[in-house]
């Protein structure tokens, strides 16, 4: 009986011990999450042409601090091997600011305190995108803060100095130069640098030329005819000072007194480089000759060849404006090859030489002739000379006088507000009359 009682006591002791001390002792599960805060001086965010950021680089890290946050997890929570989802990383380049990809902005990133149920972003690509970069957005802040959550995978390496440098902003591109002949010219005037009397001409001094340009400052464009009297550099200097444009010319001739085309073009290049910073925009037109076909000095073939040679040389030197030749209306209509070779049609047209036109109708007459040239050439027409003499002999209804000159100029201005050169700025007392000049060749000056 005692043995039975002793055995029962031993069994009870063993059961009590087993029940009071389990095999697996459960403990509270504690998960430690470490938040690392980095303060950086400069953050550069690169975006593509659509404004979407694709990489960020940092420079001059100022300091680094870390803080540990310990969260107690309830007992009975079973841990898994899946990493916890990471909170969204605040960025200085948001979708609302990405649309402005061609400008630089300064903003500090803000930390998000909302729930972070979204999954962690994918790692950055190992290679740069293949598309062209339009610009970069540089974010500069005294303290740009990024929250970093360590994960089970190692983070991608930060951009190294070997990464391509950010491209220049789109605004740094220099726009292509627009062809001058796409636009119209304002009212112009013709000019030469000679003074004196018949048989005793001389070159005007630099100061006289400067004074003349000052008197012509109301005109947008000044036409010169050649390189005589150092005219090209003087014209460039004075026109630039007064914000005027120039029509360049070459005095070509098959006779002994003609200029060399190449020398004139080189003189223009030198003057533009020296006095206009190499900018050809101040030259609106370039003519290789003036009425040489009309005067039976050159053939149409000669003129076409000169136009092509001049254009080739000028394009190589940076001039992209129109190149052509100046002729009278009849010579232009009779020689369509000149019109075809020219970038624009250039004609001298004087109502005074039509014996049936009075001064008050000068503008309407010139307009009718321009319409004929435009129809024949199918090109823009620039009237490179048009005026009325204030002294000389009458040509039928065309009578020279100061009053008639004023009437004719008023009529011309009322019919043309562009692509018109009034002839001539000052009287050309050095000139000589010819068979059909009606003793008026010296008296076309309008000032």
Distance CA 331, CA 372 (A): 12
H or E element in which residue 211 lies: helix 206-215
Q: What are the start-end ranges of the H helices in 32-83?
A: none
Q: Which of 146, 145, 84, 88 is nearest to 116 (CA)?
A: 88
Pair 416, 185: CB distance under 8 Å: no
Pair 392, 440: CB distance under 8 Å: yes
Distance CA 262, CA 310 (A): 8
Q: In sequence order, what E strands does 98-148 have?
A: 137-148
Distance CA 282, CA 62 (A): 54
DSSP 8-state symbol, 445: -
DSSP 8-state symbol, 21: S
DSSP 8-state symbol, 446: -
Pair 258, 323: CB distance under 8 Å: no
Catalytic residue among 340, 360, 385, 441: 385
Residue listed under structure tokens 């000032």: 447
DSSP 8-state symbol, 9: H
Cα separations (Å) of 250 from 193, 270, 279, 338? 14, 16, 20, 16
Residue listed under structure tokens 């005095």: 251
- Following DSSP, what letter does each residue of 325-387 receive, concatenated? EEEEHHHHHH-HHHHHHSSSEEEE--GGGSTT--GGGHHHHHHHHHHHHHHHH-S-EEEEEEE
> Assign residue 162 a region: left if phi > 0, alpha if psi is -120 to 50, beta otherwise?
alpha
- The residue count for the chain: 447
Whether residue 385 lies in the annotated active site: yes
Pair 225, 253: CB distance under 8 Å: no
Pair 412, 363: CB distance under 8 Å: yes
Name the residues annotated as catalytic. 385
């Amino acid at each position: 009986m005692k043995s039975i009682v002793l055995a029962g006591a031993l069994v009870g002791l063993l059961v009590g011990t087993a029940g009071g001390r389990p095999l697996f002792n459960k403990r509270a599960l504690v998960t430690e999450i470490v938040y690392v805060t980095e303060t950086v001086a400069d953050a550069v965010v690169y975006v593509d042409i659509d404004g979407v950021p694709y990489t960020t680089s940092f420079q001059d890290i100022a300091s680094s601090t870390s803080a540990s946050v310990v969260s107690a997890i309830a007992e009975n929570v079973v841990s898994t091997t899946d990493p916890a989802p990471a909170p969204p990383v605040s960025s200085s380049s948001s979708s609302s600011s990405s649309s402005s990809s061609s400008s630089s902005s300064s903003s500090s990133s803000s930390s998000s305190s909302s729930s972070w149920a979204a999954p962690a972003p994918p790692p950055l690509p190992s290679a740069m995108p293949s598309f062209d970069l339009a610009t970069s957005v540089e974010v500069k802040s005294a303290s740009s803060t990024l929250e970093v959550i360590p994960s089970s995978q190692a983070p991608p390496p930060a951009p190294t100095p070997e990464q391509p440098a950010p491209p220049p902003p789109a605004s740094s591109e220099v726009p292509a130069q627009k062809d001058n002949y796409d636009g119209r010219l304002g009212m112009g005037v013709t000019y030469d640098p000679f003074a004196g009397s018949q048989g005793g001409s001389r070159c005007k001094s630099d100061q006289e030329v400067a004074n003349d340009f000052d008197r012509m400052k109301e005109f947008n464009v000044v036409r010169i005819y050649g390189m005589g009297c150092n005219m090209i550099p003087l014209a460039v200097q004075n026109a630039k000072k007064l914000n005027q444009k120039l029509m360049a010319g070459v005095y070509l001739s098959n006779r002994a007194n003609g200029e060399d085309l190449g020398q004139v073009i080189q003189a223009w290049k030198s003057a533009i480089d020296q006095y206009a910073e190499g900018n050809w925009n101040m030259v609106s037109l370039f003519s290789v000759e003036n009425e040489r076909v009309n005067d039976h000095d050159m053939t149409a073939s000669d003129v076409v060849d000169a136009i092509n040679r001049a254009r080739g040389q000028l394009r190589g030197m940076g001039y992209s404006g129109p190149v052509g030749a100046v002729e009278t209306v009849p010579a232009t209509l009779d020689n369509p090859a000149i019109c075809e070779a020219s970038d624009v049609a250039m004609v001298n047209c004087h109502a005074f030489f039509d014996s049936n036109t009075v001064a008050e109708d000068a503008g309407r007459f010139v307009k009718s002739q321009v319409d004929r040239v435009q129809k024949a050439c199918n090109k823009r027409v620039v009237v490179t000379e048009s005026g009325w003499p204030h002294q000389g002999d009458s040509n039928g209804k065309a009578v020279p006088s100061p009053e008639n000159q004023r009437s004719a100029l008023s009529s011309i201005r009322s019919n043309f507000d562009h692509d018109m050169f009034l002839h001539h700025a000052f009287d050309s007392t050095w000139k000589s009359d010819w068979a059909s000049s009606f003793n008026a060749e010296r008296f076309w000056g309008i000032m």
